Amino acid sequence: MVSKAPSTNIDAEMDIDHLQDAELLSGIFPPAFQRRCIYFISSFAFIALLLGFAYSSANTGIKLWEGIAFLFGAILFFVSALIARSGGSVQVAASLLVTAAMAVTLVPAYYGSGIFSAFCIWFLLLPMMGGLLLGPRIALLAGVLGVISLAGLAYEGGYPPSSTAPLAAQQDVLMHTFNLILGVVFCSGIAILIVTLMHRSSLKLILSRDIAIEKTKELSSALQALESAKKTTIAVIDSSFDAIALLDNEGRIQEWNLRASKMFGLSHEEAMNEPMPRFLLNEQHAERFYAEGVFDPAPLSDELIELTGHSKAKDRIDLEGFITALKIDQIEQWVVFLRDVTLSKSIADAIDNQRIVGSSVLDGLPISVSLESRIQDYVLQNEAYRTLEDQGFTELGFGTETERRESTWEEGASGPWDLVLSNEEETRTFIGAMRIIEPDIPDQERYLLRYLVDVTEL
């Protein structure tokens, strides 16, 4: 399985820069929330504008530009609410809302105290509130419209000549306008900065979350692979022909396989934390694993050793063992491999017994007999044959005997023939013969049977 590599910090920054153009200008709130805000604000502003228009018409009358502003604002508020309600573009609806708000703020300010009107406070609030709710685009749009509106009010004289406010008449129009414009720029900039920082932070959190999720998936996959490998390893170890036991540095059993349980008749729970040598082996062989009472298998390690153990199923088990050291997390441990050789050893002992019996029978014969092979000169010799060798009898004309042996290996039999053997004291005459013993199993070793009959006294 090919897993996706987790993003680095540089990748995250590149992703943020890439996403900034597409998402950052839309604001920090989700589009659904922004549509609801636009819908409620536009609807409230539309109703308030109608009520204000009705009140002004009944009491003070409506001037031309006031009427145009009321109509323009009402249309934009209505369309903005309609777009937001129908799930249309948030940016279009927000732009219409801000434009309408600026229009209905500019006209009352113009007919009021101009640049000194209390309505001018909205030129500062709209960029900030609009930017925080609807994104940097709206903050920038509201800021630009606010600056243009304030510049227009200042150009028209700051306040109407009919104003009787003595303090307002003394204000410097240029400085007042400059400070208001600075306020608009500041509010717009603060809104854009806050939204940008919050949006970048949210993107970093999202990317960090995605990286964490990806790493979690990779870790989960790695753990699954590790668990699968562990199960496979356990299955392979359990299927081993040998009993395998893992020992700590004090010789206690920490793990062992299924074969060990079957061999010794002990469950996994029964064997855990038991000292392996004294728990499974007889006393004589167990002591080989200890030096002055301390577990020290190093002298026995990395070579085959013969051991004798015991189990529940049968009292005695002949074992062939191999022990080697492991270091796991800088802690020395030992792995012991044990093979039950009870049957093969019994067969070998039986063969040895048969050989001893056969040798005893041959020793009772009055002739000299030897059984030879190509691999080893003499596999079996009786007492009479060994006596000839011990007394130093050698063959006269040795080359002839060698030729007879080679001929027998090739033809299967040779003789009878006369053979003269001598030593420093005497010479004896024998009648000899040879034949090949063919094995019952194909491709097994062939043997040469050689026997001599002493006819010196005849």
Q: What is the DSSP string of 354-367?
A: HHHHHHHHHHTSSS
pLDDT of 348 strictly over 80: no
In this structure, is residue 276 part of a structural domain? yes
pLDDT tens track for 282-300: 788 788 888 888 888 888 8
Query: Residue holding tokens 């323009």?
Result: 72
Euclidean distance between CA atoms 386 and 369, whole angstroms: 9
In this structure, is residue 292 part of a structural domain? yes
Could you tell me if 435 and 420 lie in one domain? yes
Q: Place 56 in a pLDDT band, splitting at 50, 70 and 90.
A: confident
What do you get for the CA distance between the two ends of the chain, in Å?
92
SS3 59: helix
In this structure, is residue 424 part of a structural domain? yes
- Which of 310, 220, 333 minimizes the C-alpha distance to 264? 310
SS3 373: coil
Query: Listing from the earlier edge strand, what are the strands of the sheet with 394-395?
Result: 380-381, 368-372, 447-454, 427-437, 413-422, 394-395
Could you tell me if 57 and 178 lie in one domain? yes
| Bridge partners, residue 319, by sequence | 307, 340
Could you tell me if 189 and 271 lie in one domain? no
* C-beta separation of 371 from 457 below 8 A: no
pLDDT tens track for 305-330: 888 888 776 678 888 888 888 887 77
Could you tell me if 316 and 392 lie in one domain? no
**Domain with 46 in it:** 9-210
Could you tell me if 131 and 274 lie in one domain? no
In this structure, is residue 300 part of a structural domain? yes
Query: Residue holding tokens 């703020």?
Result: 105
Could you tell me if 192 and 274 lie in one domain? no
The residue ranges of DSSP E strands in 248-316, in sequence order, are 253-256, 290-291, 294-295, 305-309
pLDDT of 168 strictly over 80: no
In this structure, is residue 388 part of a structural domain? yes
In this structure, is residue 372 part of a structural domain? yes
To the nearest 10°, the Cα dihedral for 204, 205, 210, 211?
Answer: 70
End position of a domain, from candidates 167, 192, 210? 210
Could you tell me if 295 and 357 lie in one domain? no
End position of a domain, from candidates 319, 340, 361? 340
pLDDT tens track for 211-252: 888 888 888 888 888 888 888 877 777 777 788 888 888 888
In this structure, is residue 280 part of a structural domain? yes
What does the block give as tokens for 202? Answer: 């949210």
Q: Place 133 in a pLDDT band, splitting at 50, 70 and 90.
A: confident
pLDDT tens track for 390-426: 888 877 765 677 788 788 888 878 778 777 888 888 8
Q: Place 165 in a pLDDT band, splitting at 50, 70 and 90.
A: very low
DSSP β-ladder status, 290-291 and 294-295: antiparallel
pLDDT of 435 strictly over 60: yes
pTM to 2 decimal places = 0.44
Query: For the chain, what's the residue count?
Result: 458
How many domains does the structure of the chain reveal? 3
Could you tell me if 315 and 437 lie in one domain? no
In this structure, is residue 236 part of a structural domain? no
Could you tell me if 153 and 186 lie in one domain? yes
Could you tell me if 300 and 396 lie in one domain? no
> 108: Cβ–Cβ under 8 A, 6 or more apart, which residues?
66, 117, 119
Could you tell me if 89 and 167 lie in one domain? yes
Query: Residue holding tokens 């023939």?
Result: 417
* C-beta separation of 83 from 93 below 8 A: yes
> What are 418-426's contacts with CB under 8 Å, separation 24+?
419/395, 419/452, 420/395, 420/396, 421/388, 421/393, 421/394, 421/395, 421/396, 422/393, 422/394, 422/396, 423/391, 423/392, 423/393, 423/394, 424/392
- Mean pLDDT score of the chain: 77
Could you tell me if 289 and 361 lie in one domain? no
Q: Which CATH number is 273's domain given? A: 3.30.450.20
End position of a domain, from candidates 318, 340, 362? 340
Q: Is the dihedral of CA 183, 184, 185, 188 positive or negative?
A: positive
Question: How many angstroms separate the Cα of 203 from the Cα of each of 4, 195, 400, 425, 444?
Answer: 20, 12, 102, 112, 80
